[in-house]
């Protein structure tokens, strides 16, 4: 579609790539130097696409201008666009430029096309005029062009807080009925979900039959029916378990919580649910996606930001978020329908303050309580049939959730191989400066020099304090005791040898002992740690006052919780429904904080005392790029599946734990240990279905023998040549951020000149989810990343056909890893423990490669020292060869560089 004639805009457009820099204005495009571009951008507002990225390309971090992504976010809130010229062409209907030189004038045309939207009627018109006026007063760059184009409405527009619907209370849901799921009925449901035209997949049918066992009736208390089901890629696991899950939910009248580890799979499950509930209105009622409350927009925080709590660019972000909130499906700011790139445009300035990350919610005391996204999601999930959650939320909900009456009895844990890691993080204890200062803020509230809406205990519970003398005394005692926690400026004081208070003194002792013992202390680029064993006299001496300070805080927190429970029992006149809900919320929050302080006290008791066989304790100084950012004591369960089994699995009636790599790197016994099944009264049922893909014909594994370990120039040359041989479509995985950055710096320009865009985590100022979206959208693009991309990426084969790992992904030799390696916590000890971890990581990385029967791919490991015993991590029959780099490149080119490998001919879609 060719662009329509639009009036010329009074601004030039700037585009910078790895191949050059161009400015377009008045029908003329010229290539300029970096210095000229910086001078021009400093003097004249420029139309840009992704200002932080262009600024990075120019070496001008403060670059600002008229960012087309901001304009799109204003005009099309709650819609997504891939933030590239190709993505912009898709949403504007313009033709994609043939080369980089054509992108700058294309940006002018795209701006004119977007600015034409307000000249007609569009779905997101309501609220746009009011928002534009506010943004004009904030001097948003696009506002002067919008205020004249958006016609003033005949009557006042409904503002966000008036527009959002209110949730309604409902009667408690009855307990699920005791029913038996007919295996034949499950197969009929599966056939309906798959459809008449789908290919017959015996593995999927067998998988669904096995999954049905998790929905059988429980015969013994705290003895759930657990099914471990390993389903190879391509058998159709999602529909395989949604069939019995939806059948049980419909028949029994209960909810099934489907838990994942990655946001990508949560989104995919939401899409697959369309097959179960094709009608959109029905699906909204039957399927709810739940995340932790810190993911959702807090309306009270947003109101504060809009009323002057934010300034500068942060205030502009708040207004764009308000535009989005009015049209959002669920208010999810992290992985929902808020484009991930929007926050990065503002360099994360203020976005965290728009969510409830500090647990300061006042519940029914909030004027927006009845419209709250978090409360709406909680109530919707109580009535839903399928709740799509994540492992962390499931564990938090079971351990300290407020929704005790609606706890699920049936779970499906997809990506089950991550349960160990999720439990490890959930049940961890960290007595650090950052954690203590957050608790101080939660108790005390705003202190000298602080800004924002933060309110302490006294403000949040003022009516309780005025009613109950004991409660008021407990609040006062807690506020006084919180003054002994780390305060603003604690890191600098400790570094200068001037800690203030017992907690900072303890942290200073931790820092001193860690530096004294840790290897590599002279290398300021990495964090340091050491075992909490044989503590120094200074650390022992600091522990007792710190414990006294924490005990002085713990006691009033517990006392206040009891006083609040007494208020609920007494039910004074002012305790109406909303007030009761607020007090109940405060009780839950207090319980959580009291548990945290109790865990800190237990950890401090370890200093100079006996070690526990159940835990691993250590000291750490966290550093990044030479800068210390946290100091503290840490405790992890040696086997975190113990509390997971006790808190989550035992109370349930049934659970399906599934993954394509459930036993990867080990045996079924290892898999059972990694998910906590060996802590249960009844042994789990095991099931395995192999992938239907012909890996032997569609993939191969190459171990390159002549790239020296740690040689970044040689590593860079290998990556560049392999990506060129594959024509892009490469996922490069690194075990160290420093090497990732070094390789990217050496090859990005070279690949860009070949029309092969290269993106990288920890380099490009773009969130990981958006990087994957860009990668998926362009079959010629490549992406470099670390562990987060090893098994969190689901990209079709025409966009991901080559996986390159820089070396064997050995586990980091941390204190925690050493303890688990020695303890044989999951069925394999010593070097076998390391081998199991490596095999699992290799299997997960290889799993990114072949996602459908038509895919083809190559897996390259740039490590001549790869032990042969680890190569059984790959699917049986996959050809494996040790070859020099030149031969590896020839094989990659032969298998992948043809149009057939791409799946279609596609012009390169260039990066912005």
Annotate 444-463 with DSSP letters as a single string.
H---TT--SS---HHHHTHH
Torsions phi, psi for 567 (to 5 deg): -60, -40
Predicted confidence at residue 902, as pLDDT, reads 46
Q: By C-alpha distance, which of 810, 847, 840 is closest to 701?
A: 847
Start-to-end Cα distance in the chain: 21
Is residue 667 within 8 Å of 827, Cβ to Cβ? yes
Stretch 100-109: mean pLDDT, rounded?
Answer: 94
CA 151 to CA 133: how far, in whole Å?
11
Counting Cβ atoms within 10 Å, is residue 741 exposed (0-12), middle (13-18) or buried (19+)? middle
pLDDT of residue 906: 41
Q: Give the span between the Cα atoms of 532 and 25, in whole angstroms.
A: 64
Instruction: Give me the chain's average pLDDT, please.
Output: 88
Count other Cβ atoms within 10 Å, centred on residue 362: 17
What is the DSSP secondary-structure string of 79-90?
A: ----SSHHHHHH
pLDDT at position 450: 53
Distances in Å between the alpha carbon of 434 and those of 566, 602, 649, 744?
A: 33, 19, 32, 32
| Average pLDDT score over residue span 272-298 | 91
pTM: 0.91
| Average confidence (pLDDT) over 271-297 | 91
Whether 903 shows a pLDDT value over 80: the answer reads no
What is the mean pLDDT of the segment spanning 246-269? 91
Q: Tell me the mean pLDDT in the region 706-721.
A: 93
Highest-confidence segment of 37-46, 148-157, 261-270: 37-46
For position 523, what pLDDT does the model report?
60
Per-residue pLDDT at 453: 52
Q: What span, in angstroms and rounded, lies between the C-alpha atoms of 394 and 290?
A: 9
d(CA 98, CA 95): 9
The reported pLDDT for the residue numbered 632 is 96
Residue 825 has pLDDT above 60, yes or no: no
- What is the 3-state composition of the chain as percent helix, strand, coil, each rounded to the nearest 5? 50, 15, 40
Contact 299, 368 (CB under 8 A): yes
Is residue 109 pLDDT above 70, yes or no?
yes
- Over residues 29-54, mean pLDDT: 93
Token pair in block for residue 485 = 């926690």
The answer, yes or no, to whether residue 826 has pLDDT greater than 60, is: no
Check whether 465 has a pLDDT greater than 50.
yes
pLDDT at 831 over 50: yes
Confidence class for position 908, pLDDT limits 50, 70, 90: very low
**Residue 900, pLDDT above cutoff 70:** no
Of 154-158, 442-446, 465-469, the least confident: 465-469
Choose among 22, 213, 24: nearest CA to 110.
24
pLDDT in tens, 370-422: 899 998 998 898 899 999 999 999 999 888 766 666 789 999 999 999 999 99
Which residue, 243, 237, 241, 227, is CA-closest to 660? 237
CB atoms within 10 A of CB 79: 15
**Angle, CA 278 vertex, CA 266 and CA 336 arms, to 5°:** 30
pLDDT at 456: 80
DSSP strand pairing (20-25 vs 13-17): antiparallel
Query: Which pLDDT value is given to residue 349?
Result: 57
Give the residue-averaged pLDDT of 853-867.
92
Question: For position 111, what pLDDT does the model report?
Answer: 95
pLDDT interval class at 468 (50, 70, 90): confident
Q: How far is CA 193 from CA 246, 659, 677, in A?
A: 11, 21, 30
pLDDT digits (tens, 9 = 90+) for 678-711: 999 999 999 999 999 999 999 999 999 999 888 9
Band (pLDDT 50/70/90 cuts) for residue 828 is low
Mean pLDDT of 784-790: 85
Give the number of residues written for the chain: 912
Q: How many CB atoms lie within 10 A of CB 802?
A: 24
Q: What is the mean pLDDT of residues 301-325?
A: 91
pLDDT of residue 624: 83
The pLDDT of residue 574 is: 64
Instruction: Give pLDDT tens digits for 727-762.
Output: 999 999 998 888 999 999 999 999 999 999 999 999
Q: What is the DSSP letter of 856?
A: -
Higher pLDDT pick, 588 / 96 = 96
* 3-state helix/strand/coil string of 590-617: HHHHHHHHHHHHHHHHCCCCCCCCCEEE
In tens, the pLDDT along 202-240 reads 999 999 999 999 999 998 998 999 999 999 988 999 999
| H or E segment to which residue 151 belongs | none
Residue for token digits 């400790």? 494
State phi, psi for 251 to the nearest 5 degrees. Answer: -75, -40
Rounded CA separation 58/34 (Å)? 6
Q: Within 10 Å of residue 832's Cβ, how many Cβ atoms?
A: 16
Distance CA 32, CA 383 (A): 60
Can you tell me the mean pLDDT for 843-851? 90
- Edge-to-edge strands of the sheet including 287-289? 287-289, 386-390, 256-260, 410-413, 654-659, 225-231, 685-689
pLDDT of residue 448: 63
Per-residue model confidence (pLDDT) at position 264? 79
Closest CA to 514 of 503, 525, 530, 527: 530
**Percent of the chain residues topping a pLDDT of 70:** 93
Q: Residue 583 has what pLDDT?
A: 78
């Amino acid at each position: 579609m060719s662009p329509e004639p639009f009036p010329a805009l009074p601004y030039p457009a700037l585009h910078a790539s790895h191949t050059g820099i161009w400015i377009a204005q008045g029908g003329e495009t010229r290539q300029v130097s970096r210095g000229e571009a910086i001078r021009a951008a400093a003097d004249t507002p420029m139309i840009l696409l992704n200002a932080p990225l262009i600024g990075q390309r120019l070496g001008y971090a403060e670059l600002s201008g008229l960012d087309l992504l901001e304009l799109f976010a204003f005009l099309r809130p709650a819609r997504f666009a891939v933030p590239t010229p190709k993505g912009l062409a898709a949403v504007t209907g313009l033709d994609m430029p043939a080369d980089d030189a054509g992108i700058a004038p294309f940006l002018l045309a795209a701006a004119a096309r977007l600015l034409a939207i307000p000249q007609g009627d569009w779905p997101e018109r309501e609220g746009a005029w009011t928002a534009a006026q506010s943004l004009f007063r904030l001097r948003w760059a696009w506002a002067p062009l919008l205020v004249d184009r958006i016609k003033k409405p005949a009557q006042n527009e409904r503002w966000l807080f008036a527009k959002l619907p209110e949730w309604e209370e409902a009667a408690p849901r009855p307990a699920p009925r005791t029913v038996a799921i007919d295996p034949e009925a499950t197969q009929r449901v599966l056939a309906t979900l798959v459809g008449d035209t789908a290919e017959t997949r015996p593995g999927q049918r067998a998988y669904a039959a096995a999954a049905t066992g998790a929905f059988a009736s429980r015969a013994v208390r705290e003895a759930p029916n657990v099914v471990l089901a390993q389903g190879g890629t391509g058998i159709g696991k999602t529909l395989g378990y949604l069939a019995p899950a939806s059948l049980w939910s419909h028949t029994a009248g209960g909810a099934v919580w489907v838990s994942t580890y990655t946001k990508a799979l949560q989104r995919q499950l939401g899409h697959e649910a369309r097959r179960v509930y094709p009608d959109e209105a029905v699906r909204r009622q039957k399927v709810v996606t739940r995340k932790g409350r810190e993911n959702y927009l807090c309306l009270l925080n947003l109101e504060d930001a809009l009323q002057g709590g934010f300034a500068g660019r942060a205030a502009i972000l708040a207004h764009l978020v308000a535009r989005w909130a009015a049209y959002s499906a669920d208010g999810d700011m992290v992985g929902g329908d808020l484009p991930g790139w929007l926050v990065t445009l503002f360099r994360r300035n203020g976005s965290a303050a728009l969510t409830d990350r500090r647990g300061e919610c006042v519940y029914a005391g909030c004027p927006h309580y009845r419209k709250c996204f978090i409360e709406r999601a909680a109530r919707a999930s109580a009535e839903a049939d399928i709740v799509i959650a994540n492992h962390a939320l499931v564990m938090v909900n079971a351990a300290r959730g407020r929704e005790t009456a609606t706890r699920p009895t049936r779970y499906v844990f997809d990506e089950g191989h991550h349960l160990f890691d999720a439990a490890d993080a959930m049940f961890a204890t960290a007595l650090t400066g950052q954690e203590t200062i957050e608790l101080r803020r939660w108790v005390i509230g705003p202190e000298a020099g602080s800004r924002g809406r933060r309110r302490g205990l006294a403000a949040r519970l003022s009516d309780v304090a005025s009613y109950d003398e004991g409660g008021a005394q407990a609040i006062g005692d807690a506020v006084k005791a919180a003054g002994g926690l780390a305060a603003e400026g604690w890191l600098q004081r400790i570094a200068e040898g001037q800690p203030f208070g017992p907690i900072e003194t303890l942290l200073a002792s931790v820092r001193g002992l860690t530096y004294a013992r840790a290897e590599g202390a002279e290398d300021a680029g990495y964090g340091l740690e050491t075992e909490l064993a044989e503590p120094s006299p200074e650390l022992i001496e600091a522990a007792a006052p710190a414990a006294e300070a924490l005990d002085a805080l713990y006691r009033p927190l517990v006392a206040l919780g009891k006083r609040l429970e007494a208020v609920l029992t007494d039910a004074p006149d002012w305790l109406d429904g909303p007030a009761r809900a607020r007090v109940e919320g405060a009780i839950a929050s207090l319980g959580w904080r009291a548990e945290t302080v109790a865990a800190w006290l237990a950890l401090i008791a370890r200093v100079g005392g006996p070690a526990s066989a159940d835990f691993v304790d250590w000291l750490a100084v966290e550093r990044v790029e030479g800068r210390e950012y946290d100091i503290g004591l840490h405790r992890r369960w040696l086997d975190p599946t113990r509390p997971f089994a006790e808190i989550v699995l035992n109370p349930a009636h049934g659970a399906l734990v599934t993954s394509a790599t459930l036993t990867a790197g080990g045996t079924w016994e290892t898999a059972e240990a990694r998910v906590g099944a060996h802590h249960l009264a009844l042994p789990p049922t095991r099931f395995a279905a192999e992938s239907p893909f012909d890996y032997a014909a569609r993939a191969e594994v190459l171990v390159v023998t002549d790239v020296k370990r740690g040689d970044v120039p040689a590593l860079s040359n290998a990556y560049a040549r392999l990506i060129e041989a594959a024509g892009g479509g490469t996922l490069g995985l690194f075990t160290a951020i420093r090497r990732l950055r070094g390789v990217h710096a050496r090859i990005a320009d070279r690949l860009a000149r070949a029309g092969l865009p290269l993106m990288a985590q920890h380099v490009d100022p773009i969130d990981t989810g958006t990087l994957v979206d860009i990668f998926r959208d362009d079959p010629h693009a490549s992406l470099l990343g670390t562990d987060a991309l090893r098994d969190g990426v689901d990209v079709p084969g025409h966009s991901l056909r080559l996986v390159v790992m820089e070396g064997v992904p050995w586990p980091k030799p941390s204190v925690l890893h050493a303890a688990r390696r020695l303890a044989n916590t999951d069925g394999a000890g010593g070097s076998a423990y390391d081998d199991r971890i490596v095999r699992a990581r290799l299997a997960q990385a290889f799993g990114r490669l072949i996602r459908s029967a038509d895919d083809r791919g190559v897996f390259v490991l740039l490590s001549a020292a790869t032990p042969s015993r680890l190569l059984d991590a790959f699917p049986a029959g996959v050809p494996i060869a040790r070859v020099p780099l030149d031969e590896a490149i020839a094989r990659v080119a032969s298998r992948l560089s043809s149009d057939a490998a791409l799946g279609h001919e596609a012009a390169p879609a260039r990066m912005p």
